[in-house]
Amino acid sequence: MNGVLIIDKPKGITSRDVVNEIVKKLNIKKVGHTGTLDPIATGVLVVCVGSATKLVSFLTSSDKEYIAEVELGKSTDTLDNTGKLLKEEDCIKSKEEIIEVLNSFKGTYLQEVPIYSAVKVNGKKLYEYAREGMLITLPKRQVEIKSIEILGNVEYKNNKTLFRFKCSVSKGTYIRSLINDIALKLNTIGIMTDLRRIRQGKFKIEDSIKLNDIDDKNLINIINILDCKKINITPDIEKKVLNGSIIDNIYNTDEVLFIIDNEAIALYKKYDKDDKKLKPLIMFKGGI
């Protein structure tokens, strides 16, 4: 049983909870997700099953698209509405002001990783430092905001400003931190009140299934996941490919997926030392 599931993760559970549910439903141990969603978040969670777990790092690196809800005028220790309220102030911002600031974030910038995250510093997860009340310098990462736009009208409630936006971002971007940075640029404070991932790479929310509907029939074949040249193994190279041997690059391509009976066997790529050769990148069956 090998393939990929596109799950619409519900609110209130962790990504690991989703993996555990799939393990039970499909009765298989090799299951891994390709990009954590916080319990507050819903939406696309790509899960690899069986030999497809070897693709996790490839699928994790994809860009992602989100719809986020924001409340300006509040700050919490988690940067969202699940945390401890730290500060509150009146905040009325116009739609025009917000649009101008959103547009200023297009491109790359150095983003501070939130303290409540699983990023490790000195071998310890940041949220562990937070729970122990320990002060630590938070790491910063360069991220890319590929697109960002406001959705609908700005609303006002209890002297606070509420709005929604959609964004497409690079791997490693924290939307909670982005919202915090947007608020700072608006000379105020703000938190994330809702988050929905609507796309991860080529996987879209409209192609997802609910957790209760998980079935092995929903598994997407590895062959349909990878965007590269696909070749049915011929008898003359079958043994070499199954053994993970370096072979001649007669296919005029950087990557090739070898197939037997509609099953992915091995993903090969150009050999660094000789681009006229191909070497195994991932062995789904046999070999190394």
Our answer to whether residue 17 is catalytic in this structure is: no
Residue type, 147: S
Segments of 10-135 assigned E as strands: 31-33, 41-49, 64-72, 74-76, 85-88, 107-112, 120-121, 124-125
Q: Which of 65, 64, 149 is nearest to 103 (CA)?
A: 149
For residue 50, what is the DSSP state? G
Residue found under tokens 């370096």: 246
Residue 268's DSSP bridge partners are: 256, 280
158: left (phi over 0), alpha (psi -120 to 50) or beta: left
Number of residues written out for the chain: 288
Cα separation, 167 vs 192, in Å, equals 14
The four Cα atoms 75, 77, 78, 84 give a dihedral, to 10 degrees, of -80
Q: Which of 38, 63, 80, 216 is catalytic?
A: 38
Q: Which two tokens stand for residue 14?
A: 């962790």
Neighbour count for residue 54 (Cβ, 10 Å): 19
The CA-based angle 199-227-2, given to 5 degrees, is 80
Active centre residues (catalytic): 38
